[in-house]
């Protein structure tokens, strides 16, 4: 039997141990290859969003490749640790250290080559489906299938290099151990795990610092401090604090010395200490994936809410409000589509009122706005003003920056102008949160038309702003699809935006303003979030599968030692049901504790982050992401628990 045949037979005999590692590697190769198929598609640059999507996939490919490196390295090191006894026997039979190293390299490269072949094969079968899903999900035209020679070569080269480098690197784990040390393998008795009070308290303190820093405000420094303290605190939580908690729990005999509770609590102190690094890695991986997913889904939800809360489907933002506007290009397209509409014009300027930032507009424009929306109108004399509170629950950061002041009836309001100031008395108040996003203001001062005209003479012409707004009842507020009337008319208007601008261009300027549509803004933002969502789904799947693989590798490494313990306890009367109950609790803790810690860390991080962007409603994205991870982890838990308990049962008397 040749040496390569011996290596292949080793893999076949250890198939149960290698199968999860092999399938995980195949999945990573397949995803990397699928991204490469899209990136190097000959027609991708001709599509809208094509270059952006290809760039996003390049970044995602790098993330997959870097993660694959650490995943493969950890997996191989775990396997080598569990094979010390096998290497010891080979040494007794005459194998030299260089031959054992050669054997390890051959085995790793065989698994790597098989993973590459299977991954590319699976990727080829699914490449057309992947291209179709990509274009449909992001909202682009379909791409034809092609034979991806460049993608195949890049995938083969990248992963051959990865497996070869890791094979050389992992030889360090074999070292030059003595034969007796290799033969002992995992049979050496373990000392009782000890935890340092200092490092336990340090871990708790680091987690607390990370939490407090995020509450003090977001900037580059606080994010860096929170990341460093959070990651370090998580490591000390698993390696020190969790062990200390179990040791303190074991002192309560009334609680611990009860049925199988004594068995699994005693074992968990060893498992937490031994698996600290693995649990730490799984937690960090899940936390990063969860944070990214929650942020992306929250941004997408916010985009949808902004669409449904926007009453005006078309806006023309005016640079020169004092000039006559020609909206016939917009009007004609709406009439050609058979759409009824209401048009209105808002003119305003920004100013300071008692050091509080406000917008100022004439009464006739505000009353027209209210009439279209079915609200009451107001009357003002030349010496009075109407104050409109336009805050919403998402404006706290802007309110703090602008030192917002809410005026009541009877208050005196002072407007700061370029040449002096204007004092007026507030005789009426109103609430209109739409102005927060419509003219980006948390407070609006409405003056009589005569007073507004006088005030505009005292400010520079370029400080005035205007908006032509179109309300189209037939379109409603529901988010439309790409083939709806709103989508098609919006695309037509945006494609003729240059004509609309040139129709309104003044003699000394090229353009009079710019056109935006509710659907155009929504679709542009949706495509961006859809791209990240699509890429995140596959990266999240990789992270999820890999976290389960990490746990499987550790359980497989500990299987021999656990089997000896179960064998001895079964001689003393341990039943299968008791063993099953104890093992289930231990495996459940290893599987779901990282999920629980990751959920807490995600909530701590995303709340201030999203609040900074004015997003306060993120309950549904959080439930969706956590539900998906818990469901996936439960699926892996059921399968791995079943295989693990079956293996232990065979070792019982």
Indicate if 108 and 220 belong to the same structural domain.
no
> Of the ranges 10-14, 213-217, 322-326, which one carries the lowest mean pLDDT score?
322-326
CA 492 to chain centre: 34
Single residue among 494, 523, 552 that ends a domain in this structure: 523
In a domain, 32, yes or no: yes
Indicate if 153 and 70 belong to the same structural domain.
yes
Q: Chain-wide mean pLDDT for the chain?
A: 82
Question: What is the structure's pLDDT at 507?
Answer: 47
Indicate if 107 and 154 belong to the same structural domain.
yes
> Of the ranges 128-132, 371-375, 397-401, which one carries the lowest mean pLDDT score?
397-401
Single residue among 218, 250, 274 that ends a domain in this structure: 274
Indicate if 157 and 121 belong to the same structural domain.
yes
Question: What is the structure's pLDDT at 27?
Answer: 84
Residue 227 structural domain: 195-274
Question: What is the structure's pLDDT at 236?
Answer: 92
Element (H, E) at 628: helix 619-650
Whether pLDDT at 510 is above 50: no
| Dihedral class, residue 57 (left if φ above 0, else alpha if ψ from -120 to 50, else beta) | alpha
User: Using one digit for the tens of pLDDT, what is the confidence trace for 75-102?
Assistant: 777 777 767 777 777 778 777 778 878 8
Question: What is the structure's pLDDT at 393?
Answer: 57
> Of the ranges 31-35, 80-84, 171-175, 463-467, which one carries the lowest mean pLDDT score?
171-175
Inter-residue contact 125 to 145 (CB < 8 Å): no
Mean predicted confidence (pLDDT) in 609-616: 76
Indicate if 146 and 200 belong to the same structural domain.
no
- Which has more pLDDT, 575 or 47? 575
Listed ranges 199-203, 532-536, 615-619; the one with the highest mean pLDDT:
199-203
Cα pseudo-dihedral 629, 635, 637, 641, rounded to 10: 180
Question: What is the structure's pLDDT at 93?
Answer: 77
CA 310 to chain centre: 27
Whether pLDDT at 522 is above 60: yes
Mean predicted confidence (pLDDT) in 385-407: 67
In a domain, 558, yes or no: no
Question: What is the structure's pLDDT at 363?
Answer: 94
Task: Write out the two tokens for 87.
Answer: 């290497």
> Of the ranges 125-134, 168-177, 210-219, 246-255, which one carries the lowest mean pLDDT score?
168-177
Indicate if 73 and 135 belong to the same structural domain.
yes
Whether pLDDT at 501 is above 70: no
User: Using one digit for the tens of pLDDT, what is the confidence trace for 412-426?
Assistant: 888 888 777 888 899
User: Using one digit for the tens of pLDDT, what is the confidence trace for 334-377?
Assistant: 999 899 999 999 999 888 877 678 889 999 999 999 999 889 99
Question: What is the structure's pLDDT at 411?
Answer: 87
β-strands 513-517, 464-471 pairing: unpaired
pLDDT bucket at 187, cuts 50 / 70 / 90: low
Whether pLDDT at 396 is above 70: no
Cα pseudo-dihedral 368, 371, 376, 379, rounded to 10: 30
> Of the ranges 29-33, 65-69, 232-236, 389-393, which one carries the lowest mean pLDDT score?
389-393
Residue 252 — φ and ψ, nearest 5°? Answer: -85, 85
Indicate if 143 and 255 belong to the same structural domain.
no
Question: What is the structure's pLDDT at 355?
Answer: 64
Going by C-alpha positions, the residue among 617, 629, 601 that lies closest to residue 297 is: 617
Element (H, E) at 351: strand 342-353
pLDDT bucket at 475, cuts 50 / 70 / 90: very high
Indicate if 95 and 182 belong to the same structural domain.
yes
User: Using one digit for the tens of pLDDT, what is the confidence trace for 248-282?
Assistant: 887 777 777 777 777 788 778 778 877 888 888 88
Question: What is the structure's pLDDT at 377?
Answer: 92
Single residue among 499, 523, 547 that ends a domain in this structure: 523
Question: What is the structure's pLDDT at 190?
Answer: 62
In a domain, 427, yes or no: yes
**Quick check: helix, strand or coil at residue 573?**
coil
Indicate if 7 and 148 belong to the same structural domain.
yes
Cα pseudo-dihedral 159, 161, 165, 167, rounded to 10: 60
In a domain, 586, yes or no: no
In a domain, 137, yes or no: yes
The CA–CA distances, whole Å, from 246 to 235, 252, 263, 269, 600 equal 16, 10, 13, 6, 21
Question: What is the structure's pLDDT at 183?
Answer: 58
Percent of residues, the chain, with pLDDT higher than 90: 18
Whether pLDDT at 179 is above 80: no
In a domain, 45, yes or no: yes
Task: Write out the two tokens for 116.
Answer: 């590459």
Indicate if 336 and 220 belong to the same structural domain.
no
Question: What is the structure's pLDDT at 147?
Answer: 86
pLDDT bucket at 103, cuts 50 / 70 / 90: confident
Question: What is the structure's pLDDT at 533?
Answer: 80
Element (H, E) at 593: helix 576-612
In a domain, 412, yes or no: yes
Going by C-alpha positions, the residue among 548, 28, 589 that lies closest to residue 286 is: 548
Question: What is the structure's pLDDT at 653?
Answer: 74
Indicate if 6 and 140 belong to the same structural domain.
yes
Q: Could you give the CA distance from residue 231 to residue 206 in angstroms, rounded to a whole number?
A: 9
Whether pLDDT at 505 is above 70: no
Total of domains in the chain: 3
In a domain, 612, yes or no: no
Indicate if 100 and 226 belong to the same structural domain.
no
Percent of residues, the chain, with pLDDT higher than 70: 88
């Amino acid at each position: 039997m040749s040496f390569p045949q011996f290596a292949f037979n080793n893999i076949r005999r250890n198939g149960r141990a290698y199968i999860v590692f092999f399938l995980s590697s195949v999945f990573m190769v397949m995803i990397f290859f699928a991204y490469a198929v899209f990136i190097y598609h000959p027609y991708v640059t001709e599509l809208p969003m094509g270059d952006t999507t290809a760039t996003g996939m390049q970044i995602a490919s790098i993330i997959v490749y870097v993660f694959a490196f650490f995943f493969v390295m950890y997996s191989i090191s775990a396997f080598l640790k569990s094979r010390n006894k096998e290497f010891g026997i080979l040494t007794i039979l005459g194998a030299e250290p260089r031959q054992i190293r050669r054997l390890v390299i051959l085995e790793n490269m065989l698994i790597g080559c098989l993973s590459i072949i299977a991954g590319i094969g699976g990727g080829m079968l699914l490449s057309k489906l992947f291209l179709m899903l990509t274009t449909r999900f992001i909202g682009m035209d379909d791409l034809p299938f092609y034979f991806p020679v460049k993608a195949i070569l890049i995938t083969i080269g990248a992963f051959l290099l990865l497996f070869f480098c890791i094979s050389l690197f992992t030889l360090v784990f074999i070292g030059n151990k003595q034969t007796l040390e290799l033969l002992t393998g995992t049979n050496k008795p373990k000392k009782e795990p000890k935890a340092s009070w200092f490092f336990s308290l340090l871990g708790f303190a680091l987690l607390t610092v990370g939490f407090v820093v995020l509450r003090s405000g977001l900037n580059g420094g606080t994010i860096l401090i929170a990341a460093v303290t959070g990651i370090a605190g998580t490591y000390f939580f698993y390696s020190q604090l969790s062990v200390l908690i179990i040791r303190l729990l074991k002192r309560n005999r009334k609680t611990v010395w009860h049925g199988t509770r004594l068995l699994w609590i005693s074992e968990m102190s060893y498992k937490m200490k031994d698996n600290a690094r693995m649990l730490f890695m799984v937690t960090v991986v899940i936390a990063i994936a969860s944070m990214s997913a929650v942020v992306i889904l929250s941004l997408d939800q916010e985009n949808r809410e902004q669409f449904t809360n926007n009453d005006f489907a078309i806006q023309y933002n005016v640079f020169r409000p004092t000039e006559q506007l020609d909206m016939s290009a917009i009007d004609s397209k709406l009439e050609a589509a058979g759409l009824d509409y209401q048009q209105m014009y808002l003119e305003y300027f920004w100013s300071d009122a008692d050091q509080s930032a406000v917008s100022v507009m004439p009464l006739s424009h505000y009353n027209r706005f209210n009439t279209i929306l079915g609200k009451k109108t107001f009357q003002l004399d030349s010496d009075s003003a109407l104050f409109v509170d336009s805050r919403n629950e998402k404006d706290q950061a802007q309110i703090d920056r602008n030192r917002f002041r809410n005026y009541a009836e009877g208050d005196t309001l002072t407007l700061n102008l370029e040449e002096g100031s204007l004092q007026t008395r507030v005789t009426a108040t109103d609430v209109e949160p739409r102005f927060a996003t419509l003219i980006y203001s948390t407070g609006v001062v409405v003056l009589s038309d005569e007073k507004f005209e006088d005030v505009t003479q005292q400010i520079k012409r370029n400080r005035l702003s205007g908006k032509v707004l179109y309300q189209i009842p037939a379109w409603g507020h529901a988010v439309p699809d790409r083939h709806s009337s709103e989508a098609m008319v919006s695309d037509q208007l945006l494609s003729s935006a240059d004509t609309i601008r040139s129709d309104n261009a003044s003699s000394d300027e090229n353009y009079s303003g710019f056109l935006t549509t509710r659907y155009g803004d929504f679709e542009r933002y949706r495509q961006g979030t859809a791209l990240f969502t699509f890429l995140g789904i596959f990266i999240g799947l990789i992270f999820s599968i890999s976290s389960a693989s990490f746990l499987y590798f550790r359980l497989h490494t500990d299987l021999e030692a656990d089997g000896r313990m179960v064998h001895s306890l079964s001689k003393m009367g341990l039943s299968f049901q008791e063993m099953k109950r104890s093992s289930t609790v231990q495996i459940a803790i290893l599987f779901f504790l990282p999920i629980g810690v990751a959920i807490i860390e995600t909530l701590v991080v995303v709340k201030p982050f999203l609040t900074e962007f004015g997003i306060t409603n993120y309950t549904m994205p959080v439930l969706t992401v956590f539900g998906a991870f818990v469901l996936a982890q439960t699926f892996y838990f059921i399968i791995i628990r079943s295989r693990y308990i079956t293996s232990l049962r065979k070792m019982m008397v």
